[in-house]
Amino acid sequence: MNRKIFIIVIVLFFILTSYLYPNPKILFETRVHDFGDIKEEDGKVEYQFNFTNKGDEPLKLITVKAS
């Protein structure tokens, strides 16, 4: 019985915390872009990923990794 109450309290804590402390939430229009085959002699290629912050706080991009 005590274990069930403990679990319920923990779950309620996390639910309430998520409402009390809003977070940024990033929403991408597209998450993947395939350049296909690229020849080095054709020069530099670029692609822009558009996104929106759907959260209640400022969104900070710290690192970006390409694969």
What are 10-39's pLDDT values in tens digits?
888 887 776 776 678 889 999 899 999 999
Between 19 and 42, residue with greater pLDDT: 42
User: Which pTM value belongs to this model?
Assistant: 0.52
Position 58 in a domain = no
29: containing domain: 2-53
Q: What single-letter DSSP state applies at residue 57? A: S
CA neighbor of 51 nearest in space, from 25, 18, 33:
25
Q: How many domains does one find in the chain?
A: 1
DSSP calls for 13-49: HHHHHHHHS----EEES-S-----S--GGG-------
Position 15 in a domain = yes
Position 13 in a domain = yes
Position 27 in a domain = yes
Position 36 in a domain = yes
Position 67 in a domain = no
Q: In this structure, what token pair is assigned to residue 54?
A: 């759907």
Position 28 in a domain = yes
